[in-house]
Amino acid sequence: MLRFTVRRLIELVLVFFGVTFAIYAAVFALPGDPISSLGGDQPLSPAVVERIRELYHLNDPLWSQYLRYLGHLLTGDLGVDFRGRSVAERLATRWPVTIRLALTAWVIQVVIGVGLGLIAGLRKNTWIDRGVLILTILIASVPIFVMAVTAQLVFGVKLSMLPIAGVTDGWPLSYLLPATVLAIYGLAAVARLTRGSVVDTMSSDFVRALWAKGLSRRRVIGVHVLRNSSIPVLTYLAIDLGALLGGAVVTEGIFNLPGVGQLLFESIRVHEGPTVVGIATALILIFLLTSVIVDILNSLLDPRIRHD
DSSP string over 242-276: HHHHT--HHHHHHTT--SHHHHHHHHHHTT-HHHH
For 23-68, the pLDDT digits (tens) are 888 877 666 666 666 666 566 667 777 777 777 777 778 788 888 8
For 8-20, the pLDDT digits (tens) are 778 888 888 888 8
Do 157 and 89 meet the contact criterion of CB atoms below 8 Å apart? no
For 67-117, the pLDDT digits (tens) are 888 888 888 788 787 777 888 888 888 888 988 998 999 999 889 988 888
- Strand, coil or helix: what is 34? coil
Per-residue pLDDT, 41: 59
pTM (two decimals): 0.79
**DSSP class of 219:** H
Please report, in angstroms and rounded to a whole number, the separation of the first and last CA atoms in the chain: 12
Q: Where are the alpha helices (DSSP H) in the chain?
A: 2-28, 46-55, 62-73, 87-108, 114-122, 127-141, 144-151, 173-202, 205-212, 217-219, 226-245, 249-254, 260-269, 273-301
Do 96 and 86 meet the contact criterion of CB atoms below 8 Å apart? no
CA diameter of the chain:
85
Among the ranges given (185-199, 248-262, 287-301), the one the predictor scored with the smallest mean pLDDT: 287-301
- Strand, coil or helix: what is 8? helix
**DSSP class of 57:** T
Distance CA 130, CA 114 (A): 16
Residue 58 or residue 305, greater confidence: 58
